[in-house]
Amino acid sequence: MGLFRRALTTVLAVGQYPVGAIPIAAAILAMPATARGDNIFVTGGIDGFGTIGEYTTSGATVNASLVSGLNSPNSIAVSGSNLFVVNYISGTIGEYTTSGATVNASLVSGLTAPFGIAVSGSNLFVGSYRLGTIGEYTTSGATVNASLVSGLNGPFGIAVSGSDLFETNYNNGIGTIGEYTISGATVNPSLVTGLSAPEGIAVSGSTLFVVNQFSLNIGEYTTSGATVNASLVSGLTSPSLLAVDGTDLFVTDPPDGRIGEYTTSGATVNAALITGLSYPDGIAVVVPEPATALLVMGGVLGLAVARRRRALSG
C-alpha cells in the first residue's frame, strides 16, 4: 500500500479536489484486507494428488480447484500475477498464473523433498527437508545455487524480508529459527530457540510469526530474536503454515481441512473461516496491485468532483 499512498498524495496535491473526497480516500486506505478484496491461495491434497484453491479473505470460495493435477503440493508463494508451488513427491516447483493458467508445471525439477518456498524479486528460495539445505533459483527456472544454505536440521518454512532470510528448523520437535542473508551468509543459525516443532513462518515489518505444531500455537518474535509472545495464538487443533496480510494471520489446519483467521494481536476472528478443504497446507495472500486501487480511487475522486460541480452550478 506504500506506493498507493504516495500516488494518492501526489494526486491530491496536484488537483484541487473537494474536501469531501479526502475522507473517502482515507476510508479506502484504512480498509482492512477483507474489504480491499485480497484473495487467499491455498494448496490442498496428499498422496500424489493436489490442487490450488482460491478464496476471498472473507471466506468465500472463488474457485476451489483453480489449479488441479498437482503432486502433493505443500508450500506456495506469489509474485505479481504468478503463483509458485512446491510439489513434494515429484520434487518440482510449478508456475501458474493467479487466474489458474499453467505457465510451467515443472519450472524447477530434480529437487529432493522440497518444502518451504519464498520469492524475492526474481529469485525463489526453496528448502529441502531431507538434505537440510535451501536452494536459490530464478523465477525463470534457472539454478543459482542449489545449496545456498546448508547444514540445516529439517528446514520447513521460509520467509524473506529485504536481504534477510528466516527459516524454521523442525529438528525432531525441538526447533529453532535461523537467520541468513539471501546471499547465503549466516547471520544467526539459532536466532530463536526452544520452539516446538516449528513449521510455517511469516514476516511483517520487524515481526516474525511462527507456527509451533506440537504446542498447537503461534508465537511472535522480533526479527532480532526477542520474544514478544511465545503463545500469541493458542488452542489450535493442528496448525501448519500461515500467511500474514496487514493485521490478519491466516493459518492452515490440514487434518481438519480448514483455514482460521486471527489478528496479529492474537485475537480470534474466525477459527473456521474456510472449511471443507482437502488437507490444506501452503497458503499465500494476494493484495490488489496499486494500479488497480488507483483506478478505484480515481473513480471515487472523479465522482466527488462531478457532484461538487453540479452543486456549484445549481
Tell me the per-residue pLDDT of 28-46, one tens digit each, with 9 for 90 and over: 444 555 455 699 999 999 8
Q: How far apart are CA 112 and CA 109, in angstroms?
A: 9
DSSP 160-194: EETTEEEEEE-GGGEEEEEEEETTS-EEEEEEEEE
pLDDT at site 9: 34
- Closest alpha carbon to 18 in 310, 313, 314, 301: 301
What percent of the chain has a predicted confidence (pLDDT) above 70? 80
212 and 261, same structural domain?
yes
Task: Give the single-character DSSP code of 150.
Answer: -
pTM of the model: 0.83
Tell me the per-residue pLDDT of 112-147, one tens digit each, with 9 for 90 and over: 999 999 999 999 999 999 999 999 999 999 999 999
Question: What cell was used for 148?
Answer: 545456498
Asked if residue 198 lies in contact with residue 156, where contact means CB atoms within 8 angstroms, the answer is yes
pLDDT at site 314: 52
298 and 172, same structural domain?
no
Question: What cell was used for 281?
Answer: 497446507
Tell me the per-residue pLDDT of 137-184, one tens digit each, with 9 for 90 and over: 999 999 999 999 999 999 999 999 999 999 999 977 789 999 999 999
pLDDT at site 47: 79
pLDDT at residue 83 greater than cutoff 60: yes
Number of domains into which the chain is organized: 2
Q: How many other CB atoms are there within 10 angstroms of residue 256's CB atom?
A: 18
pLDDT at residue 97 greater than cutoff 70: yes
Buried b (16+ CB within 10 A) or exposed e, 35-61: ebbbbbbbbbbeeebbbbbbbbbebee
Tell me the per-residue pLDDT of 214-268, one tens digit each, with 9 for 90 and over: 999 999 999 999 999 999 999 999 999 999 999 999 999 999 999 999 999 999 9
Q: How many other CB atoms are there within 10 angstroms of residue 86's CB atom?
A: 29
The overall average pLDDT reported for the chain is: 86
pLDDT at site 5: 35
pLDDT at site 288: 67
Domain that holds residue 281: 38-287
Write the CB contacts of 188 (distance below 8 Å, at least 6 apart in sequence): 178, 179, 225
266 and 197, same structural domain?
yes
β-sheet bridge partners, residue 209: 202, 220
158 and 129, same structural domain?
yes
Question: What angle is formed at CA 115 by the lines to CA 55 and CA 132, rounded to 5 degrees?
Answer: 160
111 and 91, same structural domain?
yes
CATH code of residue 168 = 2.120.10.30
Sign of CA dihedral 97, 158, 136, 45: negative
137 and 9, same structural domain?
no
Question: What angle is formed at CA 92 by the lines to CA 86 and CA 97, rounded to 5 degrees?
Answer: 60
**Max CA distance (Å), the chain:** 75
167 and 205, same structural domain?
yes
301 and 212, same structural domain?
no
**Between the CA of residue 239 and those of 18, 114, 236, what are the distances in Å?**
49, 19, 6
91 and 23, same structural domain?
no
114 and 2, same structural domain?
no
274 and 297, same structural domain?
no
pLDDT at site 126: 98
294 pLDDT band (50/70/90 cuts)? very low
Tell me the per-residue pLDDT of 210-219, one tens digit each, with 9 for 90 and over: 999 999 999 9
203 and 173, same structural domain?
yes
The dihedral formed by the CA atoms of 298, 301, 306 and 308, expressed in degrees to the nearest 10: -170
pLDDT at residue 302 greater than cutoff 60: no
pLDDT at site 184: 98
Asked if residue 284 lies in contact with residue 82, where contact means CB atoms within 8 angstroms, the answer is no
pLDDT at site 173: 77
